[in-house]
Structures are given as structure tokens and as C-alpha cells.
Amino acid sequence: MNNIPASVNSATQHHSVIDLYLQKQQQLSAVDLFSQSHDTNLPLANALDDSSLYHDLIPISTPDHHQQYAFEVDLDQCSGCKACVTACHSLNGLEPEETWRSVGMIHGNTEKISEHVYQRDASLLQTVTTACHHCLEPACLIGCPVNAYDKDPITGIVKHLDDQCIGCQYCTLTCPYGVPKYSEQLGIVRKCDMCSNRLAAREQPACVQGCPNGAISIRLVDIQEIQNKPNAQVNIPGAPDSHHTLPTTRYVTRQKIAEHWKALDQYLVKAEHAHLPLVIMLVLTQLSVGGFLVSILQNHLSGLRELSVFPLLHTTLALSLGLTGLVASVFHLGRPLYAFRAVLGWKQSWMSREVLSLGLFAKLAIVYTLLSWLPVYQSWLPMSVLSSLSPLLQHGLGAMVGMIGAIGIFCSAMIYQSTPRLWWSTTDTTVKFFLTALILGTALAAFTLTGSVLLGSQQIGSAQQQLILSFYLILIAATTLKLVIEFYRLQQASSEKLTTLWKTAQLLFGQLKYVTFSRLVLGIVGGILLPFVMVINPGMSLSFLLAGSMGIFMCTLGGEFLERYLFFTAALPDKMPGIQE
């Protein structure tokens, strides 16, 4: 009994200690307020209508036409106990590693400024709880290729439609707050819906009900006010720019949180998911587009008209690699059987536009490739049909294949350029994607042209040799430009202290340094040194020429795969404190 307060010790004459603590536990805020209403003889009906009694944490009325529901977090009441995380996890039946609400910390110094005295107080820690912000312009909804998100027109709650989702995970890249979480077990993305079914029944959401300090509540916010002053809402150090999606969560505190405050995980540098199926898809589809562009030009290039094996070998190989890339992309989906839904969001989603354009490119490329094989089977077809169809279709169809392929590459670039990740959100992404097509397209052309000469048992002519050397000169120029862009951007990132670009640079020169070094070596060797050797030694034998062209193609292909791997793993996002990707 030595640790029991004296008041409690004296009271044990009539009650046990357990009875006293149970009695103390009854004095909850909502119960206390409700009891006081009876002490003042308020009618029960009035008590039920008075939202200040026990509806403190949720609005008593539904939003009108210029309002919506939103979270409000009182930072002064948040203790970081994570009861909200546990309540959300339990009520929504989440997987062991899945969380829809996170708790992080920010730290800094409070400042007191008077007329004569400037004083900086000791360093303080502040816990921050965060979940979906149910934005006015949700990036997850705008970017979704299957329309698996819906913003309720009355409540403003952004809901995820689980049955519609195909698990492409694009929303995890577009959301600046890291809210949508991918479930490996279910193969879909899921997120907080503010426990909308509970709100509809006038019950508190799980996190609101679970917080012992009442730090989280649901409020009605004015839509026009958020549109006019977006940064007045999520004013947390390190949080992404609110202008991007117009979040509605409001954080309130009596502390003065200055701009110099930082999240405790501000210095955390961790590689992102590699998305290997997307790495394969992007590289191989861009190779295919670049390869077909070279093949389309072959009718206008001297030295190829008499070498009929080249278009057969080149277009067939370019088509096969492109189709391999498209098949690989399906393995990125959590629900690949529903991949056909990916075109539903073509009006607003760049991913849907990529699927449409690359799908059309593949169909046209198949027809173009079959057309290139027609001369092989000319004995089976009437010559009049062959002579009338072949030139007409080759020119017209070739122009369409090249144009649709270029549109597909542009859509691929815009998928990433339109996200809030600084490593992607520049025109460099578009330029690099087209340079990949040019590099791999010319490397493939040089290889297949050399192979075509060997398969045809011919001596390489001066015109063909000159064309191969032209391919290598283009390859050297394109590779040099691409490497300059990559490492100039990296050098820029190194100087931008504590930004996500700075952390990207730390990652590339730290955890991913061996991948970065390998990419540099393969790019220089395959795209610059070996082609230069081929250019200055035009008289080498055909076998050495074939071996060199094969080595160039394999090195450039490997270098581009590593570049695209780094493209994904080093694209670090801004995020709320404590959010785990």
C-alpha cells in the first residue's frame, strides 16, 4: 500500500482500491457531460440534440453543398500511443503489416520573441497522426486506369472500390501522402474511407473512437476556403505541397511550429520498390518502337534494298521483344485476369492511354511484320496482289506504327512525370524514354543488319558498312547525351540539401552505388567505347563485326535495364512523418 495515495488509502475503510479505480474510470468525458445534463434538469430530448454533450468528435449534421467531412487532429492532445492505429487495424480487418493510419514525430525548437528579448526554448518533440486526407482533387482518383476510386458527392469521402481494382499500384505512386497500401494477399490496393458506414450510422470512425485523448475528430470543412488557402490545412513540416491535391485534414496546435522543424524520419533514405515487370516492359517496348522506326526508314536507306533478309530479321526480333515487354507488364498486376479494365480511365489516366496506344502499336506492328514476310511467300500469292498491296501497306502502315509507337512512349513518360516525385517530375523523363528508344533501336539495327549479311552468305558491301557505321555514330551521340542528362541531374540533386532529390543522390551513391556504377560502365562500354572501336576499324572481318555488334547490343540493353531499375528504386517521395511505404 506504500505507493497508493493517502486519499485512496484512507478511503479503503469502506471500499477496496479496485472499486475506487473503477469508479474513477467511469468519469469519462462523454459520460460526465451527459450526466451533467441531467444534473441541470435538461430534458433528454434536448440532451440528445446538443452536439456538445457527446457528439464532440463527429458533426451532428451532414455536409451541405459547399462542405465535406474532414479529419481534424489536435496535435496538443496526441500522445503517440497509436491507439488510433490499432483501432483502425482491428475494425477494418487489415493484414498484419497493413496500416491505414500512421503516427510519426516532428522535432524542433519553440521560439519566444518579445520587444527586447529573443529566446529559443529547448528542443521539443511533437507526435503526428495521419491517414487519408480525402482531398478535393485526389490524385489517386485522377490517375486510376480502372476508375476504382470514387469521391462521394455529399460527404466528400474518397472511397476505394475494391472489386474494380486490378492491383496496378499506380495510385501508390500518384498519391503524395503515401496513403493507398497494396495488399499482396488480396492483389489490390486499399485505403481509409473514414469508416463511412459508421459515420452514416452516426457512429465515430475507429480512429476517432479509439483515441483516448480525443485528438482526432471529424469536422465539416468549407470547400471554397480550402481551395483559397490549401496550405492552411496540412501545415506539417516535411508534408508535400498541398496545392497538388488540396487535402482537407486540419492540424491544430497551440505550439508555434516553425519552418525549421523536421520530421524524425527526415534523414531516412530507403530504396523504393523496383517494380521489375515495369522495368522490363518500359525498356522492351521502347526498344521495339525504336527498332520499328529504323525498319520503317529502311526503304529510304541505301544499301538495304538488295538485302531482303534484314527487314525479316529486324522486324521479327523487334516485335518479339516488344510483345515480351507487354506480357511482362501483366505480372505487375495483382489481378492480371482483369487487365482488360485498364482502358476504362482513358479520359483522365495516362496509364490507360499508355495501354491503349501500346496495345494498338503492337497490333499494327504484327501486321507490319507479317507484311515484311510477304515476299518470302510470293509463290503462294498472285503477283498482282503482292505488287499492289505490299508498297501501299508498307508506307501507310509504317507511318502509323511509328506515330502510335511514339505516342505510346510519350504516355509512358507522362505516367511518371505527372506524379509529385521530383526525380520523375521533369521533362528529363520524356527525353530519357525517347533516347532509350533511339539507343536500343540503333543498336538492334546494327546487330540485325550484320546478322542479315551473315545469314545471306554475302560479303558486306560498302553501302551497308557505311550504314552500320552511321548507326554507331548515332548510338554514340544518343548514349553520350543520355548519360550527361542522368549525371547532370544527379549532380544537381546532390546540392539540394534535405530534399527528396538530395536523398535520391545519397541513395544512388550509397546503398545503390554498385548498380549505379554498373549502369555507368555498361552505358560507356556499350554505347560509346565499342561503337567507337567499330567506327575507327571499318575493315574488320564479318565475324568480328558480328561479335562486336552483339556485344554492343547486349551492353546497351543491360545498361538501359539498370537505368530503369534506378529510375524506380531512387524515386523517393515526400511524405507525412511516420508514413511507411
Q: Are 99 and 76 in contact (CB under 8 A)?
A: no
Kindly list the structural domains of the chain, giving each domain's residue range(s) and its CATH number in brackets, ordered by start.
Answer: 1-55 (no CATH), 57-263 (3.30.70.20), 276-569 (1.20.1630.10)
What pLDDT sits at residue 114? 46
How far from 373 is each of 119, 200, 285, 309, 314, CA to CA, in Å? Answer: 82, 64, 22, 10, 11
Phi-psi category of residue 497: left, alpha or beta, with phi > 0 → left and psi -120 to 50 → alpha: beta
pLDDT averaged per 10 residues, the chain (length 581): 48 58 55 54 48 62 89 90 93 89 82 48 76 94 95 94 95 91 92 93 91 92 88 74 89 75 78 94 97 78 52 88 96 94 93 96 92 63 53 76 95 93 87 96 91 67 77 94 90 75 89 95 95 84 84 96 96 78 53
What pLDDT sits at residue 244? 87
Which residues, listed in sequence order, are joined to residue 424 by a DSSP beta bridge? none
- Whether pTM > 0.75 for this model: the answer is yes
In 45-138, beta strands by DSSP E:
67-74, 102-113, 118-130
What pLDDT sits at residue 233? 63
Going by C-beta distance under 8 Å and a sequence separation of 6 or more, which residues neighbour residue 249? 70, 71, 72, 73, 130, 131, 133, 134, 233, 234
What pLDDT sits at residue 487? 85
Query: Could you tell me the maximum CA-CA distance found in the chain, to the nearest angstrom?
Result: 115
The sign of the torsion formed by the CA atoms of 12, 16, 21, 27 equals negative
Per-residue cell: 51: 452536439
Per-residue cell: 319: 516485335
Residue 535's closest CA among 482, 484, 454, 476?
Answer: 476
- Residue by residue, DSSP assigns 282-310 as HHHHHHHHHHHHHHHGGGGSTT-TT-THH
Which amino acid, 8? V
What pLDDT sits at residue 61? 80
Residue that the C-alpha cell 545471306 belongs to: 456
What pLDDT sits at residue 70? 94
Q: H/E element holding 216?
A: strand 216-222
Q: Are 569 and 581 in contact (CB under 8 A)?
A: no
What pLDDT sits at residue 115? 47
Cα(226)–Cα(249) distance, rounded to whole angstroms? 10
The sign of the torsion formed by the CA atoms of 342, 348, 349, 354 equals positive
Q: Are 164 and 146 in contact (CB under 8 A)?
A: yes
Cα(26)–Cα(558) distance, rounded to whole angstroms? 68
Residue 269: phi and psi, rounded to 5, are -120, 115
What pLDDT sits at residue 515? 96
What pLDDT sits at residue 113? 47
What pLDDT sits at residue 38? 54
What pLDDT sits at residue 389? 56
What pLDDT sits at residue 105? 87
